[in-house]
Chains A and B, each alone.
Chain A
């Protein structure tokens, strides 16, 4: 019989257009194959520094996102009550003029009456600048409810963070610890990196209450109890310190461990650094016995003891304070075992392994380099231990301190920025002092004094009135959350509704599903958005919303500005925002319209510039008052933050040959497109490690324009800005916290990494809510976007609650039973599944699968609405015990990070009943046309 003959070389595509993915926050390079004007195939770009050719499930499902029936198609204005989803199409001219008419009077009278919050925005370089030009400090993206604890702890401690700003040295590390990571940022690079570790048989230790995903393939699993990672890490530090397994030479060279801290209990300078007349911190020279400036080359300082300074002050090296704290027996493995759920034996064993690999398996690279003091080194010494941490660490009210504790552990081992350790990605590291401070409002019709978000150094930098009243609507940079470097988006609607600290006039949001999965207390938020004053007007008077899809939040807006899909737009992934660099590579990238929109939609950033021009905002209009930029693409090329520095660093200068600095190049976007939509440049060989202290790196960074003068970083183990807040809490200084916050600041702002029990559990009656409840992001979904995707929703159609075996046995639950899950705030009904590979007191589910009926172009009986659910209904934005005028945000007291994972619950069996999860809300009216029931995508080929 003759074998069937087939064409093994069929035509693939007419054209390949290269752009940047936006199916999650990873920002991989993609090749979009077009055939007959449609998308034939999307694959990873092999040349791209982020993903090197691979592509995740989300990225591979881009076709279904681009063609999703849930896409909005025209500007709309609300005609029914808020929340119902009743709209009328309007023209872009009417939409833009309406927005302008709402915003113009605010800018002329009180710019702070605009709250502009931008969700999962990848254009904060533009959006933050727009807010600054408008003059409102009420701006942030979603970092405050995502992972500001990671960013702030990293930047204040060592000038850079885990997140996507650094990476383990995947090629050299021999022991890798990963804390609290499911599918967060950097998803493809982490998978690629884990695979490199496996190839080299490096050991992976996973610290996570749930043994899924990355944790399932780790060599060792540490089933930590949520919110206790910090205590576990401090026990490791206790063990290492007690055994003398720390890198003293590294601490002297690169950290403030030798800096002298003033010891003056009760005094106004207690806990501050002793400084010379130029303000330089002092160390205690071991040879001369005298204090001397920390940056003097070639000295060995004392690391212990107590000195009386010429000024008469008593001071001790910070390291002495570290020994005093961490050698205390309360951090002994036996003392923390019960709280952390980790045996003393496992803690000791991990400490021994860390010490062994760091100090007995040292690696070296024979590249000479020179440090910032001018001292020459003939090689780079590596301690091949590395760490990564993410959401499970950050989403707790003790997350900032916990993340600092992990950084302290890394630094004690000498493993930051060395071969085999944790490596920064340019433009990091950069000390917190080199970042701007948050801009201040300057009055009607005026811009802010600087960018709205920044890094404060003490109480004097807070955005508060003389009486301590917060100036920002979310109370960021107030005594409630002084170091809230990403704002506090989760508090905006709640505060605006309560008029605390004041009401707003316009709430303007982008890509932020606040009436559903992006808020705590979703039902409460829906009611706040619907609430009216006695005069019949909404409490939050006007809501403008931009989204590409018919999300739950659409139903609550008064004016809809429909955005494009990620394949129809310009974007720039800028060094001025969150760059896509790798440790050896500086890089940025663009998106461009590889498909033309077939609907009446516009890219949000172009719309924002249009509104800015209509408002006459500085920088957005030419001298004659006409719009300065035709659209976002024009801005990307021609906007300069300062001369020679613009949104994109590649192909600058008139001939396109300059990098970093250079005049705008009219051909810049074409150059990017020709190059695969990214630009990258390798770091010089001798600049690749010890970047915080490496002269060659610092010089290169100045050349590229990251900053104008070298910014070496001394790692801040003792964090003086925290000490300043403790002094204020004790009554010192002219800037004083309100009395109700004094003890909270005194107790939690320890200048050394510390652990305290998460707030929600502490505020509850003992035993009433005995279980922890958390979520994980599934690898095949990115928050709420996944469910509208015909392929991805087949993978995660519903989300069971995973319940530990022992709890199932206690409560009498078996697979597919229904159960009530109760918190101090509410109760939900969910379907359960038994699981053993989870911390025995922790229940969990996948994040953001549950949907409101009518949203996302899904049918009203979609499983996501019938059986899917959110834990959000159990989480309040305020802590138990709020009341009598006090509103304690459910957040980290230092950074304001939303404490999603502090949630405590009880569980009991429920009757099946209707077999649907509860609460179940009325449907919102869909604003889009339902899609075809049957898809045969690509049948014609």
Chain B
């Protein structure tokens, strides 16, 4: 059993916006690319050009079709849509993957709450993966150690990188700006403000893991114009021919041209 530290005063994490994620996998591949040459062992790939290609990834995008239900619980296939759901370690406050670790390899950093694996101590028993409600940990089959999102701990403090690049690779690469990084313990941080204003939520809160990462829900697909005018406030177009005050399109055209000249 490994102990969790006292609740960190700084909780670094990600805020992922499901309203704008288009499921392009940019974050997942850039993560793989940075981290295979970064913290700990490489993220290996097996049968890379063969029949069952697989590999270790720290971030994966799950795309599934959501079929909404109406109030009576009847599926509404005409309103079905694809949801793109990026998933990586959520750096939980009550991380069962840490407390279950028999060697102390899994730990949560006291200074910023990042959950890491000390790969030298990891025996690859897989208990942490079993305990994770989110399936966020993956065994690297070449090294036999457990891999997980490090929140790019080797980028965010890295003095060899320009200051503006000291953010996780997934955040920097995301073309849709669907991923944000910051301190979720600080209510005034950009990410906390975003969570508060957009109704950010915990993934599977019933599991009691108190994840630090938050998700922003897709906005309701109302037909809303930029001016906050709702569709039902956009008047229907009335054909000039139906408009008793007008003389049809030719009359309208004449009046319009009079106004221009």
Residues of A bordering B, CB below 8 Å: 1, 3-4, 6-12, 35, 40-44, 46, 51, 53-61, 63, 69, 174-175, 183, 187-188, 191-192, 194-195, 198-203, 211-214, 216-221, 239-245, 248-249, 252, 286-287, 300, 302-304, 323, 327, 348-349, 351-353, 355-357, 361, 384, 779-780, 788, 790-795, 797, 805, 835-837, 857-859, 861-863, 866, 930-939, 941
Contact = CB atoms under 8 A, between A and B. Distances in A.
Contacts of B5: 3
B230 to A, nearest CB: 11
A922 to B, nearest CB: 18
B87 interface: no
B23 A212 contact: yes
Interface stretch (B88-96, B168-176, B183-191): B168-176
Closest 7 CB pairs between A and B? A938-B37, A836-B80, A174-B226, A779-B24, A191-B175, A57-B25, A8-B157
B48 A931 contact: yes
A4 B110 CA distance: 11
B22 A191 contact: yes
11 contacts: A56-B175, A61-B29, A213-B22, A213-B24, A221-B221, A248-B253, A248-B260, A794-B55, A930-B49, A934-B44, A941-B38
Given A191-B22, A938-B38, 18 more contacts: A8-B157, A54-B26, A54-B172, A55-B175, A56-B173, A60-B32, A60-B173, A216-B84, A241-B249, A243-B238, A244-B249, A244-B252, A302-B257, A353-B231, A779-B24, A794-B45, A934-B46, A936-B36
B133 interface: no
A217 B237 contact: no
Which size bracket describes the interface of B in this complex? 35 or more
A861 B50 contact: yes
Contacts of B23: 212-213, 216, 779
- Give the residue among A202, A249, A835, A938 with the most B Cβ atoms within 10 A: A938
Nearest to A7: B154
Given A60-B33, A217-B20, A356 B225 contact: yes
Contact of A3 (B109, B161, B246, B257): B109
Contacts of A780: 24-25, 29
- Give the residue among A212, A240, A837, A933 with the most B Cβ atoms within 10 A: A837
Given A933-B49, A939-B42, A837 B81 contact: yes
Contact of B19 (A60, A217, A936): A217
Nearest to B109: A3
A219 B83 contact: no
Given A4-B118, A194-B20, A203-B224, A941 B37 contact: yes
Given A55-B175, A195-B178, A248-B257, A361 B225 contact: yes
Interface string B236-261: 11111100001001101100110011
B261 A198 contact: no
B51 interface: yes
Nearest to A933: B47
B85 to A, nearest CB: 11
A221 B49 contact: no
A188 B160 CA distance: 27
A175 B225 contact: yes
Contacts of B30: 43, 55, 57, 60
Interface of B: 3, 5, 17, 19-26, 28-30, 32-34, 36-39, 41-42, 44-55, 57, 63, 65, 67, 77-78, 80-84, 104, 107, 109-110, 116, 118, 121, 142-143, 153-154, 156-161, 164-165, 169, 172-178, 218-219, 221-229, 231, 234-241, 246, 249-250, 252-253, 256-257, 260-261
A934 B158 contact: no
B158 A9 contact: yes
Contact of A356 (B47, B83, B109, B229): B229
A931 B49 contact: yes
Contacts of A4: 107, 116, 118, 121
Contacts of A932: 48
Contacts of B20: 194-195, 198, 217
B22 A214 contact: yes
A349 B225 CA distance: 12
A355 B231 CA distance: 12
B237 A240 contact: yes
A351 B22 contact: no
Contact of B237 (A9, A58, A239, A837): A239
Contact of A837 (B39, B82, B153, B231): B82
Contacts of A183: 24
Given A203-B226, A286-B257, A938-B37, A835 B65 contact: yes
A352 B236 contact: yes
Contacts of A351: 237
A248 B253 CA distance: 8
Nearest to B105: A4
A interface: dominant SS: loop
B235 A352 contact: yes
Contacts of B261: 286-287, 300
Contacts of B57: 794
A44 B77 contact: no
A826 to B, nearest CB: 27
A790 B43 CA distance: 12
A58 B252 CA distance: 53
A28 to B, nearest CB: 9
Contact of B24 (A56, A220, A937): A56
A174 B22 contact: no
Given A46-B164, A63-B33, A69 B49 contact: yes
Contacts of B236: 348-349, 352
Nearest to B50: A859
B22 A217 contact: yes
Contacts of B22: 191, 194, 213-214, 216-217, 779
Contacts of B33: 41-42, 60-61, 63, 791
B159 to A, nearest CB: 4
B6 to A, nearest CB: 12
A212 B82 contact: yes
Contact of B225 (A56, A323, A357, A795): A357
A214 B22 CA distance: 6
B222 A219 contact: yes
A938 B42 contact: yes
B45 A791 contact: yes
A3 B107 contact: yes
Contact of B51 (A11, A242, A859): A859
A302 B77 CA distance: 51
Nearest to A31: B165
Contacts of A40: 37
B26 A55 contact: yes
B215 to A, nearest CB: 14
- Give the residue among A216, A304, A788 with the most B Cβ atoms within 10 A: A216
A344 to B, nearest CB: 12
Contacts of A791: 29, 32-33, 45, 55
Contacts of A51: 175
A202 B226 contact: yes
A216 B178 CA distance: 14
Nearest to B21: A217
Contacts of A212: 23, 63, 82
A240 B236 CA distance: 11
Nearest to A302: B257
Contacts of B246: 244
A353 B234 contact: yes
Contacts of B249: 241-242, 244, 323, 327
B25 A1 contact: no
Nearest to A779: B24
A794 B46 CA distance: 10
Contact of B50 (A54, A211, A213, A862): A862
- Give the residue among B23, B176, B177, B252 with the most A Cβ atoms within 10 A: B176
A857 B49 contact: yes
A302 B236 CA distance: 29
Nearest to B34: A41
Contact of A939 (B41, B46, B63, B238): B41
